[in-house]
Homo-oligomer: A and B are copies of this chain.
Amino acid sequence: MAKPLRVGIAGLGTVGASVVELLRANGPALAARAGRPIEVVRAASRTPKPDLGLDAVFDTDLKSLASDDVDVLVELIGGDTMARDIVARALDAGQHVVTANKALLAAFGGELFDKAEQGNLALGFEAAVAGGIPIINALRNGLAANEVDVLAGIVNGTSNYILTAMEDDGWSFADALAEAQRLGYAEADPTFDIEGIDAAQKLAILAALAFDTDIDFTGVHVEGISQVDIEDIRYARELGFSIKHLGIARLTDAGVEARVHPALVPDTLLLAKVAGVMNAVMVHGSAVGPTLYVGPGAGGMPTASAVVADLVEVARGTHTVPRAPERCLRSLPIDGVACPHYLKIPAIDQPGVFAEVADILSRHDISIEAVIQRPQAIRAGAEPWVPIVILTDDVAETVVEDSVAELGRLPGVTGTITRIRVADLGAMMPAA
């Protein structure tokens, strides 16, 4: 019988408990696939978890995992500083590492991948992005023959659940968020998810791997979805789009464009139909063309599926040791982005306002693709106003900003102008 792969688990929360359960439930099949058994020999967590049946190997001290009898550390404690310490310690001690920690990699990925490379060790992170969808595997192995130039994804289930509930059921943002919290799809403080920080960390990790470059996480442009109104969802629907919280990364001659923001996704793309807590990542490769991967992006068992997949590779010896990127491309500022835009302009219902709006757009060379303006109910005690909804063709970021500022100064414009980018992925990606 081959020597088992000896695992030390740090963190026994939802994912940790699921990893323990999965290794136990699928033990024989995993041993057959991996070529040897995979055994938890040490586990550490701040609070004991007697239900997991690990008492014999349990310790509250994380340092207990840096022991000779552990081949691979599974880091599931989250956060960055403590996680960085135990991962660095593990690699220095010659242990492989498997992690689900996107914040850790977004902040300290460079130094930790270097350590792993120097030690000829695995640093698996399939579980850090898009839950159980084997996207890291696809980028690293399945698409290894390609130069990837664009990727785009829905990689936060909280945001996607909220936007789907708004679109499918007509809920307001606040109601959809409350429902997400009730169902456990959103935290009590949902900022990290709905403001796009979680998605940005995942996008940075994907882009670094796909484009073979270091990515400065702080160079990712991030916007959340809390300003998306049910009215915008309806107008987008009418124009043939769904609004999604999208991460887009593009490799250009000038550097890497990486951004997370609400985006109108056309119905012609499968991505527009990815609903609820499902995640999806689209990757365009130079040889294969457009590919799409869809699946559960979070949850104990889906994430454990990814963690254990990495463990199987280490057990088999088929893991890939990290390789320092060939380059360190500059992160392009959002100013360089040009794409179509959705504009919703609250205007006083008087003659001339529309002409003034059209004139400003014309003077900025902004081409209009579609317009919706319908009568609005009269609000008590105020002048009647209507939203003028405009879909533009490609416009540069700075031009849109200038135009929106100028539009906002019109006397006939009565409130904040809503501006949402359109996902211009077009012919590159799998179409419905």
A288→B296 contact, CB < 8 A: yes
Contact across chains for B296 and A293 when beta carbons are under 8 A apart: no
**With an 8 A cutoff between CB atoms, is A227 at the interface?**
no
What per-residue 1/0 map shows which CB atoms of A296-321 lie under 8 Å from chain B? 10010110111111011100101110
Is the pair A288, B295 in contact by a Cβ cutoff of 8 Å? yes
Task: Name the B residues within 8 Å of A290 (CB-CB).
Answer: 295-296
Residues of B within 8 A of A323 (CB): 32-33, 35
A275 within 8 A of B: yes
A143 vs B133: C-alpha distance when bound (angstroms):
8
How far does the Cβ of A250 sit from chain B's closest Cβ, in whole Å?
18
Q: Which residues of B are found within 8 Å of A301, using beta-carbon distances?
A: 287-289
A13 close to chain B: CB less than 8 A: no
Q: Are A292 and B292 in contact (CB under 8 A)?
A: yes
Q: Given A291-B295, A305-B285, A431-B275, are A313 and B141 neighbors across the interface (CB < 8 Å)? A: yes
**A293 CA to B299 CA, complexed, in Å:** 20
Return the CB mask of A364-400 against B: 1 if under 8 Å, else 0.
0000000000000000000000000000000000000
In the bound complex, residues from chain B placing their C-beta under 8 Å from that of A35 are 323
* A142: interface (CB < 8 Å): yes
Residue A56 is within 8 A (CB to CB) of chain B in the complex: no
| B287:A132 contact, CB within 8 angstroms | yes
A284 nearest CB neighbor, chain B only: B295
CB <8 Å contact, B291 and A33: no
Q: Nearest Cβ distance between residue A430 and chain B, in whole angstroms?
A: 5
Using A134-B138, A138-B134 as known contacts, say yes or no to A143 and B291 having CB atoms under 8 A apart: no
Q: Is residue A126 contacting chain B, with contact meaning CB distance below 8 A?
A: yes
CA distance A133 to B302 in the complex (A): 21
Given A132-B291, A134-B138, A288-B302, A143 and B320 contact (CB-CB distance below 8 Å): no
10 example contacts (A-B, Cβ-Cβ < 8 A) are as follows A26-B287, A133-B288, A142-B306, A144-B308, A288-B306, A289-B299, A289-B301, A293-B293, A294-B430, A313-B318
A126 near B147 with CB under 8 A, answer no
Q: Do residues A145 and B26 form an inter-chain contact, with CB atoms below 8 A?
A: yes
Query: Contact at B304–A287, with CB atoms within 8 Å?
Result: yes
CA distance A33 to B316 in the complex (A): 20
Tell me if B309 and A145 are in contact (CB < 8 A): yes
Q: Is B318 in contact with A133, judged by CB distance below 8 angstroms?
A: no
Contact of A143 among B131, B147, B304, B305 (CB under 8 A): B305
Question: Which residue of chain B has the shortest Cβ distance to A145 in the bound complex?
Answer: B308
Hey, which chain B residues are within 8 Å of A305, CB to CB?
143, 145-146, 285, 287-288
Q: How far is the CB of A119 from chain B (nearest CB, A)?
A: 16
Task: Return A74 CB to nearest CB of chain B, in Å.
Answer: 13
Chain B nearest CB: distance from A281 CB in Å? 11
Q: Do A126 and B144 touch (CB < 8 A)?
A: no
A126→B144 CA distance, assembly (Å): 12
Minimum C-beta distance from A15 to chain B (A): 12
Contact of A134 among B34, B143, B313 (CB under 8 A): B143
Residues of B within 8 A of A304 (CB): 145, 287
Shortest CB-to-CB span from A296 to chain B, Å, is 5
A278 touches B430 (CB 8 A): yes
| B-side contacts of A295, CB under 8 Å | 288-292, 430
Is A30 interfacial (CB 8 A cutoff)? yes
Residue of B whose beta carbon sits closest to that of A35 = B323
Q: A286 contacts which chain B residues (CB < 8 A)?
A: 26
Question: Contact partner of A132 among B274, B276, B289, B302, CB < 8 A?
Answer: B289
Say whether B319 contacts A22, CB under 8 Å.
Answer: no
Contact A309 B274 (CB under 8 A): no
Q: Please, which residues of chain B bring their CB within 8 A of the CB of A274?
A: 270, 430, 432
Provided the pairs A296-B289, A312-B145, A318-B320 are in contact, do residues A275 and B134 lie with their beta carbons within 8 angstroms? Answer: no
- Assess the A137–B133 pair: CB atoms within 8 A: no
